[in-house]
């Protein structure tokens, strides 16, 4: 992943140094488990820890150089660690284990930590959206279907629906975290043939992971579920972003992304203030969905294991974690600084000279005794006349309904009253 789309909170999580540090901790915990079970000599853990190498750039380079010989990254890692520890104690490093024990348990530990960051970022975005929804509870705006003016709603209702969807994403992230917070140290093909099951229990408990039955690898439906949760976040962010992009169009101008002092919208046209954050979120969501495909394809492995999943996971697991996290943070910043043009929203509601009240007019005519089909045709004709001649829709209906009925038909407050229920739903949800 390029640095541009990595938030500082997650920047160090998927580095080679942090990955190897996680490997080393797992290896040392295994030595401690063997010592606790009376297999490794007393003091082996203390010696291994005291002599274990510092995981830094030099260590990463040493493993890379060793891998040129071993052509196996975990074997290279073990060789470098054992060389640093030395003596008979070094032999307890990787004792009874297979590489997937270290790699898969490390992946699950890292992804659990990433999930915590994602959940925290979702919390932040929900707080922003809930605040925005409550602030604009009574801000009337036009609702659109097929991109066309439909009936009035409130901007608060829009934001409330976004908050509720992000909350569902948060539930998905929590479920994915539970699915991925597991570990396995059951050796080759997962039968514990050379490792005591108690070692797995001891190590997983120390890492706050749950030991699970496995083949030589942890089942990849867990990773696919995690990637789905990330992709779902992306789809929600895109939904919000696309709406904001439409509302920022010059002809609409109902909202505007914040614009910092010194910022430039275009290198050529100084007047431009483009929806760059919304467009960025739209693009990043495409990557998240693409990565999900690889996650699903990784579920089917040959027999007890192969490594067809490995190369893909090295890319999609860190990238999806970082992209989803960055997207949540970027969206929270975007919405916290969003400029809402209330006056323009009011003006756009009136843009069609009252045509958005066609359904109340239809129902009023039906109540007066007219058949639905006849009432529909009357309202349709009146609407066409109003649109083509620039005539207020109310005037076109005057011959069919009394002034009292027309006041009820064109009551904007009553029209959006039900939209408040969506904002009120936040009180029960959060």
pLDDT tens digits, the chain, 430 residues: what are they?
Answer: 789 999 999 999 999 999 999 999 999 999 999 999 999 999 999 999 999 999 999 999 999 999 999 999 999 999 999 999 999 999 999 999 999 999 999 999 999 999 999 999 999 999 999 999 999 999 999 999 999 999 999 999 999 999 999 999 999 999 999 999 999 999 999 999 999 999 999 999 999 999 999 999 999 999 999 999 999 999 999 999 999 999 999 999 999 988 778 777 777 777 778 899 999 999 999 999 999 999 999 999 999 999 999 999 999 999 999 999 999 999 999 999 999 999 999 999 999 999 999 999 999 999 999 999 999 999 999 999 999 998 999 999 999 999 999 999 999 999 999 999 999 999 988 8
The predicted structure's pLDDT at residue 335: 97
3-state secondary structure of 10: helix
What pTM value is reported for the model? 0.94
Return the structure tokens found at 237: 């962010």
- Cα 370 from chain centroid (whole Å): 51
**Residues constituting the chain:** 430
Is the Cβ–Cβ distance between 60 and 144 less than 8 Å? Answer: no
The predicted structure's pLDDT at residue 113: 98
What residues does 145 pair with on adjacent strands?
148
The predicted structure's pLDDT at residue 296: 96
3-state secondary structure of 370: coil
The predicted structure's pLDDT at residue 274: 87
The predicted structure's pLDDT at residue 141: 97
3-state secondary structure of 413: helix
| Angstrom distances, CA of residue 178 to CA of 34, 113, 129, 343, 394 | 28, 11, 26, 46, 58
Determine whether 286 is exposed, middle or buried from the number of CB atoms within 10 Å of its CB (0-12, 13-18, 19+).
exposed
**Cα 336 to Cα 338: distance, rounded to the nearest angstrom:** 6
Catalytically active residues, by annotation: 146, 266
Complete DSSP assignment for 189-239? GGS-SSS-HHHHHHHHHHHT-EE---SSS--THHHHHHHHHHHHHHHHHHH
Return the structure tokens found at 135: 């602030």
For the chain, give percent helix, strand, coil, nearest 5: 70, 5, 25
Name the region of 253 (left: φ>0; alpha: ψ -120 to 50; beta: rest).
Answer: left
The predicted structure's pLDDT at residue 1: 76
3-state secondary structure of 247: helix
The predicted structure's pLDDT at residue 269: 79
The predicted structure's pLDDT at residue 261: 83
Count the neighbouring beta carbons within 10 Å of the beta carbon of residue 248. Answer: 20
- In which element (H, E) is residue 255 found? strand 255-256
The predicted structure's pLDDT at residue 258: 85
The predicted structure's pLDDT at residue 193: 96
């Amino acid at each position: 992943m390029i640095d541009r789309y990595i938030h500082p909170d997650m920047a160090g999580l998927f580095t080679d140094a942090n990955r190897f540090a996680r490997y080393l901790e797992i290896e040392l915990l295994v030595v401690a488990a063997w010592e606790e079970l009376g297999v490794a000599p007393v003091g082996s853990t203390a010696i291994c820890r005291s002599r274990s190498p510092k995981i830094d750039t030099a260590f990463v380079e040493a493993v890379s150089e060793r891998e040129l010989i071993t052509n196996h990254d975990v074997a290279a890692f073990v060789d470098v660690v054992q060389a640093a520890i030395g003596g008979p104690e070094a032999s307890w490093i990787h004792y009874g284990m297979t590489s997937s024990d270290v790699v898969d348990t490390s992946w699950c530990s890292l992804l659990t930590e990433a999930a915590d960051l994602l959940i925290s970022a979702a919390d932040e975005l929900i707080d922003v959206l809930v605040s925005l929804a409550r602030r604009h509870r009574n801000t009337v705006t036009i609702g659109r279907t097929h991109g066309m003016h439909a009936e009035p709603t409130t901007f608060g209702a829009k934001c409330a629906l976004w908050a509720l969807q992000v909350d569902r994403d948060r539930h998905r992230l929590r479920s994915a975290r539970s699915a991925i917070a597991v570990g396995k140290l059951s050796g080759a093909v997962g039968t514990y043939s050379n490792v005591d099951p108690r070692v797995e229990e001891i190590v997983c408990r120390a890492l706050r992971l749950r030991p699970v039955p496995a083949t030589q690898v942890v089942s990849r439906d867990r990773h696919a579920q995690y990637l789905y949760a990330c992709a779902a976040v992306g789809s929600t962010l895109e939904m919000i972003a696309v709406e904001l992009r439409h509302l920022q169009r010059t002809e609409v101008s109902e909202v505007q992304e914040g614009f910092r002092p010194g910022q430039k919208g275009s290198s050529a046209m100084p007047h431009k203030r483009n929806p760059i954050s919304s467009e960025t979120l739209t693009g990043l969501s495409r990557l998240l969905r693409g990565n999900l495909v690889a996650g699903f394809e990784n579920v089917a492995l040959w027999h007890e294991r192969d490594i067809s999943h490995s190369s893909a996971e090295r890319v999609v697991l860190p990238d999806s974690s970082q992209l989803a996290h960055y997207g949540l943070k970027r969206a929270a910043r975007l919405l916290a600084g969003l400029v809402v043009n209330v006056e323009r929203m009011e003006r756009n509601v009136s843009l069609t000279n009252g045509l958005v009240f066609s359904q109340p007019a239809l129902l009023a005519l039906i109540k007066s005794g007219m058949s639905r089909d006849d009432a529909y045709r009357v309202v349709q004709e009146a609407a066409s006349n109003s649109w083509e001649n620039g005539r207020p829709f109310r005037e076109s209906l005057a011959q069919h309904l009394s002034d009292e009925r027309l006041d009820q038909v064109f009551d904007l407050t009553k029209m959006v009253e039900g939209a408040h229920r969506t904002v009120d739903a936040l009180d029960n949800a959060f």
